[in-house]
A and B are shown apart, each in its own frame.
Chain A
Amino acid sequence: MAGLAASFGSGAMTNSINEIGKAACIFAIGTNTTANHPIIGRQIDRALRNGTKLIVADPRQIPLCRKAHIWLRLQPGTDVALLKGMMRVILDEKLFDTSFVKERCEDFEAFETSIMEYDLATAAEISGVTAKEIAEAARMYASTSPATILYTMGITQHSHGTDNVRSVANLALVTGNIGKPSTGVNPLRGQNNVQGACDMGALPNVYPGYQKVDDKEVREKFEKAWGCDLNPSPGVTLTEIFEAAHAGKVKALYLMGENPMVTDPDSKFIEKAISRLELFVVQDLFLTDTARLADVVLPAASFAEKDGTFTNTERRVQRVRQAIEPVENARPDWMIICDVARNMDAKGFDFDSPDQIMEEIRSLTPSYGGIKYERLKKSGLQWPCPFPIHPGTPYLYSDRFNTPSGRAQLAPVEYRPSAETASNEYPFILTTRRSIFHYHSVLSRKVPGLNALRGEEHVEINPADAASLEIKDGEVVIVASKRGSVKAKIKITGVVTPGVVSMTFHYGETRTNILTSTALDPIAKIPEFKVCAVKIERKESAYISKDYLRWGTGGK
């Protein structure tokens, strides 16, 4: 998100979901759309039936590859090289949109020099994609308009995630594929309300509506509205919170509805950090792996038991309505927060319904200015929606970008290798993925049917690697990195290339994130989930002896 904010002025999907179906060219990079966002995957399908061209860039053979016109099978972590190769072709063959670059972009010269110092052969060598394929993809993307880019974690979850995002943004900018319907740079957000949580200022450096905490004017506005003095220095980010806890700087942690023990990188370190806290409060639906470590656990209500709004990936604010009474003794999170705050003698927490909270949000967040519950009855509204009769904004930047100059920033980007590369000791690159049947680690795991469809971890490995390690399909192996090891079943498949293995991270019993690296992107502070070096060992005890088999599985 930080990358997009630097290029365009704000970090969000620039266009809408139903515009994807009308694009003439779709470039899906680092997104397994049909598994993670199936409904957007269907939009791609619809587009393909209407003759849209599809370019997929992914190291794994995801289902979209079968439907793609061009599949760029790059090595994990080499996106910048690939994108720079594509832009080199676009500049060389004069396929870029001169008038758009001239009128609406800045720093083209610096950008051009950075691209020119890099030839196509180098890009091909680093990314492992042939120069011909890169050139073809570049021509297809640049000459088929409108063209849209979809990306997700495959781009962002790297120690150079911001560089990846800026490269993607550069590609859209030079070809003028932004600010028009069915174009744009579209990060498909993961969690149901991750966009909303960002919009609402659940971030260390901004208040609601991305208003900076270190901006004096903004701070004074909030101080006046909230009737108190506010801390002017930005706080620490998620990954830094655990480091601070480990170092003893953070002594109390209040966690609402997350499960970092399973979903955050290097979870052994997280466990250690949590154990050093003096007070750890968790608010959740279930006694998750993280909640088990807490001092106090507060049972919260699920989405079906409360009112409110979610903001989806296309910036659409939609209503959530209470369908049933809270199960057992659970309470909606907003009620719990209000109760705790009132017990600490705080003012400004006397709300009776989420409706009233939205009124306060509206008054302080310019992009949400026109969002009122009575307008959300039939369907949602897409922000920016600054005043009560504004119809919402399906696509951004139609005439200016959100930067101070109103022009987008083309940025020179350097390719940096991932923090960890395969070595003799750890010869495989592990890249994490998601399954269609689960999303994260808690909710979908509590649905028996979904567990029946995919109830355990599978390590995907190429047949060639499996043969050299002499492991069989379905065998339980030990996957180990510098940080720890987990046991999981092997699945031999051509979906991954030799040298690459892939795992999901949904299972508390197989905590893949024990393995993953905490190398952070320096700007966005996103950890490198997509690349870490691992080794695979046979687990001798996994063999069932012939004697045992002869006796059957009943006797002991």
Chain B
Amino acid sequence: MTKHVPLTINGVEVRAPEGTTILTAAQDAGIYIPTLCHCPDVSSQGVCRLCLVKIEKRRRLEPSCRTLVEEGMVVVTDDAEIEQLRQVILELILSDHDFNCLLCPKSGNCRLQELVTHIDYNERRFNRFEHVAKELPIDTSNPFFNFNPNKCIHCTICVRTCNEISGTHAIDMAHRGYDLKVSTFANKPLKESVCVSCGECVERCPVGALTPKKVEHPTREVKTTCTHCGVGCGLYLGIRGGAIIRARGDRENPVNQGNLCVRGRYGHEFVDCHERLSFPLVRAYDEYAQASSIVDEVTEKGKPVTAPLVKREGKFVEITWDQAIKYVASTLSHYKGDQFSAISSAKCTNEENYLFQKFVRVVMGTNNIDHCARL
């Protein structure tokens, strides 16, 4: 059991477990401290200086995200002096930010916007700053997200995420002073770097610097399990207009705890792929197909002729589900016993695998069923 230490924040008696930061203690007690560079998933770096607080008997203001709670600490999170300081910090950040919220995909969901409403800034002083419009090129090389360095506020959350969560170390801060920027090794486009496109940084970017290419927001989410590998990460599929448009990790899931890889986060597009089969298909030489009125030729690319022509030359024809089920059922009934085999799928659900093996064993009367576990 961790020891809880008592301290005072804004005159309120608070108890916080030993080893937590003032910021976390305050947030747990329902006290708001503005911050831009703090992300609970990664270590604190204290670079934005917006969370500075006053601590009794200390000479300087301390960043609350990096100061641990101590017994009997008396903390003030908000007064005229702190307010003034925060305003200047915010003005400096804003003066260096591509300020075009109307056209920004992050608008409405942006931490910087949120801080502007909380902290406010002095318009006259702000206008005296030299607004040197940065016109750095936008990196659109990655197929899933864009990086716009003009909107970057140098909070380093993406860098910490890449190092601590993804473990990829694809990006870091480069250059000094005004030229400071997030960069890949040798400033290559993201696609040519070691970036694995897991998108964890995109999830955590507080502003519009890293944004997914698909900008719509889902109207509802469905909790499910990823289909790409055996890890079985929990994810939420975001739906809009009957289509999946986004996926995010399920933090409640004990397997991935909110983490996702590139396949999990962006690999759901196959669901809407235009190549999805739309009707049951049958080879044209079969009588059911000839009876069918809807005929659609499916091109067979580069299919070598290795079998009797009569069987393989037929083109695929679309038929209805009723016809297809009847056709499969009636033909299968001629092949009962060990002349029948089935291959099940490790992509299908437990229920489907259970039913399939039951079908093979009960209806077809054979144990000839296997799947790709051996591969």
A-B contacts, 26 listed (Cβ < 8 Å): A37-B230, A40-B231, A49-B164, A196-B349, A196-B350, A202-B356, A241-B370, A250-B341, A258-B344, A275-B311, A281-B332, A285-B276, A295-B282, A297-B316, A299-B279, A305-B271, A308-B351, A311-B350, A312-B231, A322-B222, A323-B239, A340-B332, A343-B329, A349-B359, A524-B374, A527-B374
Are B267 and A450 in touch, CB under 8 angstroms? Answer: yes
Q: Which of A123-131, A167-175, A230-238 contacts B (4 or more CB under 8 A)?
A: A230-238
Within residues 438 to 461 of chain A, which ones have a CB less than 8 A from any CB in chain B?
438-439, 442-444, 446-450, 452-453
Top 3 nearest A-B pairs by Cβ distance? A312-B232, A308-B349, A257-B345
Instruction: Choose one: A238, A304, A436; the contact of B262 (CB below 8 Å).
Output: A436
What is the bound-complex CA distance between A321 and B231, given in angstroms?
17
Tell me the smallest distance from the CB of A64 to a CB of chain B, in Å: 10
Which residues of the partner chain B approach A385 to less than 8 Å between Cβ atoms? none
Tell me the smallest distance from the CB of B106 to a CB of chain A, in Å: 20
Is the C-beta of A204 less than 8 angstroms from some C-beta in chain B? yes
Given contacts A228-B362, A235-B367, contact A284 B255 (CB under 8 A): no
Which residues of the partner chain A approach B327 to less than 8 Å between Cβ atoms? 296
Closest A residue, CB atoms, query B196: A436
What is the bound-complex CA distance between A1 and B373, given in angstroms?
9
Q: Which of A114-122, A132-140, A325-333 contacts B (4 or more CB under 8 A)?
A: A325-333
Are B332 and A297 in touch, CB under 8 angstroms? Answer: no
Give the number of residues in B that approach A within 8 Å (Cβ atoms).
120
What is the bound-complex CA distance between A53 and B162, given in angstroms?
22
- Known A1-B373, A264-B375, A316-B232; 13 more pairs at CB < 8 Å: A194-B372, A207-B361, A222-B361, A254-B360, A258-B344, A295-B286, A304-B244, A308-B352, A333-B356, A378-B252, A379-B253, A436-B262, A439-B229
What is the bound-complex CA distance between A447 and B343, given in angstroms?
25
- Interface mask (B8-25 → A, CB under 8 Å = 1, otherwise 0): 000000000000000000
Which residues of the partner chain B approach A245 to less than 8 Å between Cβ atoms? 341
Is the C-beta of A221 less than 8 angstroms from some C-beta in chain B? no
Are A296 and B280 in touch, CB under 8 angstroms? Answer: yes
Which residues of the partner chain A approach B357 to less than 8 Å between Cβ atoms? 200-203, 207-208
Is the C-beta of B37 less than 8 angstroms from some C-beta in chain A? no
Which residues of the partner chain B approach A337 to less than 8 Å between Cβ atoms? 352, 355-356, 359
Is the C-beta of B66 less than 8 angstroms from some C-beta in chain A? no
Is the C-beta of A111 less than 8 angstroms from some C-beta in chain B? no
Is the C-beta of A346 less than 8 angstroms from some C-beta in chain B? yes
Is the C-beta of B28 less than 8 angstroms from some C-beta in chain A? no
Which residues of the partner chain A approach B269 to less than 8 Å between Cβ atoms? 446-449
Within residues 303 to 358 of chain B, which ones have a CB less than 8 A from any CB in chain A?
303-304, 306-308, 311-312, 316, 321, 324-335, 337-358
Which residues of the partner chain B approach A237 to less than 8 Å between Cβ atoms? 370, 374
Q: Which of A184-192, A414-422, A423-431 contacts B (4 or more CB under 8 A)?
A: A184-192
What is the bound-complex CA distance between A303 and B233, given in angstroms?
13
Given contacts A330-B276, A379-B253, contact A357 B355 (CB under 8 A): yes
Which residues of the partner chain B approach A190 to less than 8 Å between Cβ atoms? 229-230, 346, 372, 375
Is the C-beta of A433 less than 8 angstroms from some C-beta in chain B? no
Which residues of the partner chain A approach B255 to less than 8 Å between Cβ atoms? 17-18, 39, 312, 314, 316
Within residues 275 to 318 of chain A, which ones have a CB less than 8 A from any CB in chain B?
275-276, 278-279, 281, 284-287, 292-300, 302-306, 308-314, 316-318
Given contacts A192-B228, A230-B361, A304-B244, contact A446 B370 (CB under 8 A): no
Instruction: Choose one: A279, A303, A438, A453; the contact of B191 (CB below 8 Å).
Output: A453
Are A324 and B349 in touch, CB under 8 angstroms? Answer: no
Are B349 and A310 in touch, CB under 8 angstroms? Answer: yes
Are A340 and B266 in touch, CB under 8 angstroms? Answer: no
What is the bound-complex CA distance between A327 and B275, given in angstroms?
11
Closest B residue, CB atoms, query A327: B276
What is the bound-complex CA distance between A308 and B224, given in angstroms?
10
Are B234 and A318 in touch, CB under 8 angstroms? Answer: yes
Tell me the smallest distance from the CB of A239 to a CB of chain B, in Å: 7
What is the bound-complex CA distance between A310 and B229, given in angstroms?
11
What is the bound-complex CA distance between A222 and B300, given in angstroms?
43
Instruction: Choose one: B165, B270, B370, B373; the contact of A236 (CB below 8 Å).
Output: B370
Which residues of the partner chain A approach B227 to less than 8 Å between Cβ atoms? 192, 302-303, 310, 320, 443
Which residues of the partner chain B approach A296 to less than 8 Å between Cβ atoms? 280-283, 324, 327-328
Are A252 and B270 in touch, CB under 8 angstroms? Answer: no
Instruction: Choose one: A45, A239, A250, A287; the contact of B340 (CB below 8 Å).
Output: A250
What is the bound-complex CA distance between A451 and B374, given in angstroms?
27
Is the C-beta of A34 less than 8 angstroms from some C-beta in chain B? yes
Are A327 and B271 in touch, CB under 8 angstroms? Answer: yes
What is the bound-complex CA distance between A193 and B229, given in angstroms?
8
Are B375 and A437 in touch, CB under 8 angstroms? Answer: no
Closest A residue, CB atoms, query B194: A63
What is the bound-complex CA distance between A245 and B373, given in angstroms?
20
Is the C-beta of A62 less than 8 angstroms from some C-beta in chain B? no
Is the C-beta of A30 less than 8 angstroms from some C-beta in chain B? no
Which residues of the partner chain B approach A192 to less than 8 Å between Cβ atoms? 225-230, 232, 346-347
